[in-house]
Amino acid sequence: MAELIHTCYRIGDIDRSVAFYEALGFEETRRMDLPDGATNVFMGLPGDGPRLELTKNPGVDSYEIGTGYGHVAITSDDLDATLEALTAQGIEPEKPPYSVRDGGSRLCFVRDPDGYRIELIERSA
């Protein structure tokens, strides 16, 4: 049976990106230097595998995200507490939390240092 093991995207600065994802609760699980000079950093949430691969290519400081990328979604047990902790680290939501429908989960979006959107979804009780 097939399994989705990770998502990869390219970043401009390893330390800046690792710090951002650590603020979201990710942990760096592995770092690999490749023969072409690129570096892959694998990040995962505690108790899960390395689901996010961040690739830093030599000589490239930024990328165009393009129109096809949407977002990566992660859950939060307490969205307000998560946003408070992120704000303390200089990470602000695009707009205040909201629900898509009555009785639906609260959510909001933040952007990582390279402009990728990350959706934070509060887990239902």
Instruction: List the catalytic residues.
Output: 119
SS3 call for 102 = coil
CA distance 52 to 62: 18
CB 37 within 8 A of CB 56: no
CA distance 54 to 56: 7
CA distance 42 to 54: 6
Q: Provide the 10 A C-beta neighbour count for residue 64.
A: 7
Tokens representing 54?
């961040």
Residues, the chain, total? Answer: 125
